[in-house]
Amino acid sequence: MSLPPGRLDRFARHIVLPEVGGAGQVALAGKHLVLVGLGGIGSPALQYLAGAGIGKLTLVDDDRVDASNLQRQTLYNERDVGHGKAVIAKRWVTGFDAALDVSISDRRITRDNAHELVVDADLILDGTDNFATRLAVADACVAERVPLLSAAVGRFQGQVGAFAGHLPNQPCYRCFVGDAFDAEDCDTCAEDGMLGAMAGWVATFAALQAVRILLDGVSALGEADWGRVHLLDGLKPGMRSFTITKDPACSACGSAA
């Protein structure tokens, strides 16, 4: 498989990178990524994921654009206020790169429908803002054997972690957070605030990690680094990382599951 001439020009800056190359760009064109949440993380992440040439994108969000979103959700403008985020996001992608295959879902994610959203995907990037949704998506990923990249942000801090709990000896997201957060009980940026640029930093780092995962085994960009969580601190600024181990008692991926 090769790229047509127009695509070679478009992705020339990727192709000249030894860590991506032509083989990597062709691989990205054949991948399917599901982006869950089109807010502070999903909005800027989508711009770089589409820019990377990931061939198939499924965009999931049931929310509508609010004026307060514009401070950090770079995909939207004032004319979009009151309109559905998923529809606007699809319109942006098709205008940005008509060669990409993009579909949307504007239904709220629950344990009942999460499985159908993740099946057949190569990677899920979750940037949602409540644990109930995150855990529903994470459990579906384990059940459908799909890797998960989880990203979260608040105030001046963010985190990005890669999970493949369906693999032996690899943790899932529930190994990280446990079972105590299935209710929608987490703080929101409306309550705590968020620096807009902080959301952008976490989002673009998540997009970088998504490309790394999708190219694992294809190019020399790096390993997927399963079970590793990166903490981003916008006040210092700085970043540190730690590794999660698989919990044998995990209700999603452990021996008790």
- Positions annotated as catalytic residues are 189
- Neighbouring C-alpha atoms within 13 Å toward the C-beta of 149: 29
What is the rounded CA–CA span in Å between residue 54 and residue 25?
9
DSSP code string of the chain: ----HHHHHHTHHHHTSTTTHHHHHHHHHT-EEEEE--STTHHHHHHHHHHTT-SEEEEE---B--GGGGGT-TT--GGGTTSBHHHHHHHHHHHH-TTSEEEEE-SPP-TTTHHHHHTT-SEEEE--S-HHHHHHHHHHHHHHT--EEEEEEEBTEEEEEEE-TTSTT---HHHHH-STT-SS----HHHH-B-HHHHHHHHHHHHHHHHHHHTTTTSSS----TTEEEEEETTTTEEEEEEPPP-TT-TTTSTT-
Give the Cα separation of 94 and 114 in Å (integer): 25
Contacts of 217 (CB under 8 A, 6+ apart): none
